């Protein structure tokens, strides 16, 4: 025999009750009639509670009562044939009148006891059972309404009554024997005390009712029908990537639900566990889906944990003082005291020195707990043996749960890495003695971010989601957006990484979409829907989103974003940039940026600062971290200058070559910006610093390619005129090179702690002789690469290769997440 429990959403509307009938048709058999346990219709318990509490402070409940009546009457009208409607209307009316009398009493006395409240709440379940059983009576023979308050006996803790299992079991069995062959429709959630007064089993308690009936009658299984595909790895309302778990052990389900997974009420597991009855959580909106089986054995899973749950709001109390050390029974006394006052302690952590105890309670209990402690330990506090208890509010508990955890090393490391990298401060930690859960207390504002980050960390076979914010929408960004869009599927399938562009800004407009901006249409979206750009507010909005695995992309060439970098790192956001300015300014800034990123455990990637997408920065870093010593670095890092000298031969004048280079888009609008060598200087300075040198920009010796008259020209046109007039200056160099069979190269060199960049003539034996087009080349001479230097060569400029470099670094941030 099966017990089936349908929650609020499964009896929440005409459509759900019709669906419920279909489910029953597949299950009912005349040999063994199922037992159906029902909750109140969705929202009804909350509404009743609100009406009762309102009445107690003089708030009128008439319109809520009408709403309640309409909700139930509507089901009768739509689902019960006209000739059968009257008795149901009559009974409903009787219930609603009783309810009204009770509420009127509360209203008049302006007083609401827990006992009266339970009685008021019980009408939710009584009405829904009345309705559903009458609908069912049209399709099934021998249906019967069962008021569980006659059968489930409890103590008198109204609101959260404790069930007397033996007595209730006997009553349930006797009732069943006296009513053979009936299909029971049982009110969930309610019981009664020895005096026959109605009690409730705690919010969500209908699940428990089902398990109590299941255990009493040795059911073959208990099915909990709800509105999700079983128990998921996390609350699907917060973690979009949560997925359903096929098997859980009773303990795992208990821990997950105790720490907030509302889908099943924690005490439900106990009766089922004692009788070894499987509980199956099913989705009434998707009945074909297998759902989650809760049983003795936790089953096989490829993941080290089963799920993550959370308690939205808790407060913690911290008790410390020398008077607690070595004092046998101190914590026993403390917690007995709290229990006597019905204060539920959610979790406890005690430092190994016994110098302090921290425990979490529900926020509504916190002040009372503090006062009780203060009065109980008044003398100790006065004698300063114990400090006044400290209360911290607006906190949440996050718990990871799984039986396999205790055989798997590194679980807490992984948990804390995910937290730390995302800047989530852990206030207290508790590991259950069972080692089936590790719980941490964090600030409530971090909860959603923490749940998502921890979910990504533990279920990494799934995709890690990187949340990207991009500054600059010029050439490099637009190429990058294109690349990301093209690679989207590949990335997800091969790298387990999903990139979501949450915000973007250029100098005019900025736009945010927490679900990810469609990169196929970003231009129109930014132009059409974007707001006025403001860098400071862009950064603060990015921080306010408080998303896990967050990266800022600085694709500008501007100094403005740089001043926010430390703030970005301090907010635990990684940075990927092709902007060279941060690394090539004052040394002190270069140093402190790195230190800040390291301190916060985030990535600062800037491969594209030097040689676009070529692996130069990374190669140098790999050499350094593997313990190699840099002896010298030689490099050509200006694609523009390379192009110009590579094409300066034969009859062409220097003027003509520069002009063509500009026409081909190889130069800045003012070609002097390239020819002055300052860009080259910046790149080389970054390399020199990365190789360990402490250098300021002024320390780099830079040879001028251009004669003074060209440099000083007042406009670009004048510059070209002066360049034309200076052909002799360049021709002398060209002729010398031709006569010696050499090539003209503009080379940066680092040696003996000094850096200089100058023109040189190299012969055909030199590795830089054969450089073509606008390529970059760099050669590292190290202790290991001594006789034959390590050379990296290739296209060192252009939007495609730069964007590709940026893209690769984004993926690397994802891998580090």
Residues with catalytic function: 683
Burial of 384 (0-12, 13-18, 19+ CB in 10 A): exposed
Which residue's CB atom is positioned nearest to ligand ADP?
7
Q: Which stretch of DSSP H or E encloses residue 719? A: helix 716-725
The binder of ligand ADP chosen from 64, 147, 227, 628 (CB under 6 A): 227
Give me 495's structure tokens.
Answer: 């790298």
Shortest approach of ligand ASP to residue 187 CB, angstroms?
10
Q: Which does 313 bind (CB under 5 to 8 A by kind): ligand ASP, ligand ADP, Mg ion, none?
A: none
Q: Is 731 among the residues that bind ligand ADP (CB under 6 A)? A: no
Complex with Mg ion: residue 204 or 291, whichever CB lies closer: 204
DSSP letters spanning 12-23: SSHHHHHHHHHH
Shortest approach of ligand ADP to residue 228 CB, angstroms?
4
Q: Is 9 among the residues that bind ligand ADP (CB under 6 A)? A: yes
Q: What is the 3-state secondary structure (H, E, C) of 55-66?
A: HHCCCCCHHHHH
62 phi/psi in degrees, rounded to 5 = -60, -45
Sheet holding 509-512, edge to edge: 531-532, 509-512, 497-505, 464-471, 550-554, 574-577, 604-605
Q: Cα–Cα–Cα angle for 286, 288, 289, nearest 5°?
A: 75
Q: Is 530 among the residues that bind ligand ADP (CB under 6 A)? A: no
Complex with Mg ion: residue 245 or 702, whichever CB lies closer: 245
Query: Of 93-112, which residues contact ligand ADP (CB under 6 A)?
Result: none
Q: Is 396 among the residues that bind ligand ADP (CB under 6 A)? A: no
Complex with ligand ADP: residue 80 or 228, whichever CB lies closer: 228
Q: Cα–Cα distance between 215 and 189 in angstroms, integer?
A: 16
User: What angle do the packed helices 654-663 and 716-725 form, to 10 degrees?
Assistant: 150
Give me 779's structure tokens.
Answer: 């050669």
Query: Of 33-52, which residues contact ligand ADP (CB under 6 A)?
Result: 39
Q: Which does 227 bind (CB under 5 to 8 A by kind): Mg ion, ligand ASP, ligand ADP, none?
A: ligand ADP
The binder of ligand ADP chosen from 132, 172, 263, 597 (CB under 6 A): 263
Sheet holding 221-226, edge to edge: 143-146, 183-187, 35-38, 2-6, 221-226, 279-283, 292-295, 247-249
Q: Which of 60, 44, 47, 53 is nearest to 12 (CA)?
A: 44
The binder of ligand ADP chosen from 235, 365, 403, 607 (CB under 6 A): 235
Q: Cα–Cα distance between 690 and 687 in angstroms, integer?
A: 5
DSSP lists the bridge partners of residue 59 as none
Where does this chain bind ligand ASP (CB under 6 A)?
A: 7-8, 39-40, 45, 124, 188-189, 203-207
Give the total of residues touching ligand ADP (CB under 6 A).
20
Q: Which does 228 bind (CB under 5 to 8 A by kind): Mg ion, ligand ADP, ligand ASP, none?
A: ligand ADP
785 phi/psi in degrees, rounded to 5 = -100, 70
Q: Is 241 among the residues that bind ligand ADP (CB under 6 A)? A: no
Where does this chain bind Mg ion (CB under 5 A)?
A: 7, 204
Which residue's CB atom is positioned nearest to Mg ion?
204
Shortest approach of ligand ADP to residue 281 CB, angstroms?
8
- Contact letters for ligand ADP, residues 305-344 (x by CB under 6 A): --x-x-----------------------------------
Q: Which of 752, 753, 754 is nearest to 700 (CA)?
A: 754
Complex with ligand ADP: residue 253 or 686, whichever CB lies closer: 253
CB 200 within 8 A of CB 190: yes
Total Cβ atoms within 10 A of residue 493: 9
The binder of ligand ADP chosen from 124, 169, 191, 204 (CB under 6 A): 204
Q: Is 484 among the residues that bind ligand ADP (CB under 6 A)? A: no
Shortest approach of ligand ADP to residue 31 CB, angstroms?
28
Query: Of 293-312, which residues contact ligand ADP (CB under 6 A)?
Result: 307, 309
Shortest approach of ligand ADP to residue 270 CB, angstroms?
18
Total Cβ atoms within 10 A of residue 37: 32
Which chain residues interact with ligand ADP by CB under 6 A? Answer: 7-10, 39, 204, 226-228, 231-232, 234-237, 261-263, 307, 309
């Amino acid at each position: 025999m099966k017990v089936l429990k349908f929650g609020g959403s499964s009896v929440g509307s005409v459509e759900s009750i019709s669906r419920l009938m279909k489910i029953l048709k597949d299950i009912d058999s005349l040999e063994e009639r199922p037992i159906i346990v029902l909750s109140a219709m969705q929202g009804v318990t909350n509404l009743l509670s609100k009406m009762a509490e309102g009445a107690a402070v003089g708030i009128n409940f008439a319109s809520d009562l009408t709403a309640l009546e309409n909700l139930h009457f509507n089901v009768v009208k739509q689902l019960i044939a006209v000739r059968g409607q009257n008795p149901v209307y009559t009974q409903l009316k009787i219930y609603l009148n009783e309810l009204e009398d009770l509420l009127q009493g509360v209203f008049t006395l302006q007083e609401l006891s827990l006992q009266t409240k339970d009685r008021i709440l019980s009408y939710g379940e009584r009405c829904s059972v009345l309705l559903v059983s009458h609908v069912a009576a049209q399709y099934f023979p021998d249906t019967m309404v069962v008021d569980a308050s006659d059968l489930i006996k409890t103590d008198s803790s109204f609101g959260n009554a404790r069930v007397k299992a033996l007595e209730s079991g006997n009553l349930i069995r006797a009732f069943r024997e006296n009513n053979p062959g009936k299909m029971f429709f049982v009110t969930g959630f309610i019981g009664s005390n020895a005096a026959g007064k109605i009690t409730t089993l705690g919010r969500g308690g209908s699940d428990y009712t089902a398990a109590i009936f299941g255990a009493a009658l040795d059911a073959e299984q208990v099915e909990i029908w709800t509105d999700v595909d079983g128990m998921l790895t996390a609350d699907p309302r917060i973690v979009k990537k949560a997925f359903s778990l096929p098997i859980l052990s009773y303990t795992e389900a208990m821990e997950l639900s105790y720490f907030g997974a509302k889908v099943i009420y924690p005490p439900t597991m106990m009766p089922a566990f004692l009788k070894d009855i499987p509980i199956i959580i099913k989705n009434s909106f998707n009945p074909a889906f297998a759902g989650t089986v809760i049983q003795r054995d936790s089953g096989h899973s490829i993941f080290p944990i089963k799920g993550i749950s959370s308690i939205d709001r808790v407060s913690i109390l911290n008790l410390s003082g020398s008077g607690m050390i070595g004092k046998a029974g101190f914590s026993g006394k403390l917690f007995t005291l709290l229990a006597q006052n019905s204060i539920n302690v959610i979790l406890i952590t005690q430092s190994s020195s016994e110098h302090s105890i921290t425990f979490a309670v529900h926020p509504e209990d916190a002040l009372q707990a503090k006062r009780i402690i203060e009065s109980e330990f008044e003398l100790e506090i006065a004698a300063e043996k114990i400090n006044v208890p400290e209360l911290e509010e607006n906190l949440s508990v996050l718990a990871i749960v799984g039986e396999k955890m205790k055989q798997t090393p590194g679980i807490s490391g992984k948990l804390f890495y995910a937290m730390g990298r995302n800047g989530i401060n852990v206030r207290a930690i508790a590991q259950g003695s069972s080692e089936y859960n590790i719980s941490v207390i964090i600030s409530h504002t971090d909860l959603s971010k923490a749940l998502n980050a921890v979910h990504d960390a533990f279920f990494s076979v799934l995709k890690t989601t990187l949340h990207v914010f991009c500054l600059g929408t010029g050439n490099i960004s637009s190429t990058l957006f294109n690349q990301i869009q093209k690679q989207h599927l590949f990335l997800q399938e091969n790298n387990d990484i999903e990139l979501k562009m949450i915000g973007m800004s250029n100098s005019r407009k900025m736009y945010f979409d927490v679900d990810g901006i469609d990169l196929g249409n970003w231009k129109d979206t930014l132009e059409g829907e974007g707001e006025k750009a403001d860098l400071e507010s862009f950064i603060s909005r990015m921080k306010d989103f408080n998303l896990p695995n967050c990266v800022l992309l600085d694709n500008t060439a501007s100094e403005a974003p740089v001043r926010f970098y430390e703030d970005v790192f301090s907010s635990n956001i990684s940075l990927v940039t092709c902007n060279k300015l941060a690394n090539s300014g004052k040394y002190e800034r270069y140093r402190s940026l790195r230190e800040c990123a390291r301190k916060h455990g985030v990535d600062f990637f800037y491969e594209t600062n030097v040689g676009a997408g070529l692996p130069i920065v990374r190669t140098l870093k790999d050499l350094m971290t593997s313990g190699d010593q840099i002896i010298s670095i030689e490099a050509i890092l200006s694609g523009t200058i390379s192009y110009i000298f590579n094409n300066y031969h034969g009859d062409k004048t220097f003027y003509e070559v520069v002009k063509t280079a500009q026409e081909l888009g190889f130069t800045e609008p003012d070609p002097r910006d390239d020819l002055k060598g300052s860009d080259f200087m910046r790149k080389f300075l970054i390399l020199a610093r990365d190789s360990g040198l402490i250098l300021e920009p002024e320390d780099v010796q830079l040879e001028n390619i251009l004669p003074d008259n060209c440099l000083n020209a007042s406009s670009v046109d004048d510059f070209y005129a002066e360049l034309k007039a200076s052909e002799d200056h360049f021709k002398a160099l060209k002729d010398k090179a031709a006569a010696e069979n050499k090539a003209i190269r503009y080379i940066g060199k680092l040696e003996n702690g000094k850096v200089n960049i100058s023109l040189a003539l190299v012969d055909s034996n030199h590795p830089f002789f054969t450089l073509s087009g606008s390529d970059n080349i760099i050669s590292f001479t190290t202790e290991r690469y001594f006789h034959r230097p390590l050379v990296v060569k290739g296209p060192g400029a252009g939007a495609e290769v730069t964007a590709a470099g940026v893209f690769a670094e984004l993926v690397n941030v994802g891998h580090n997440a």
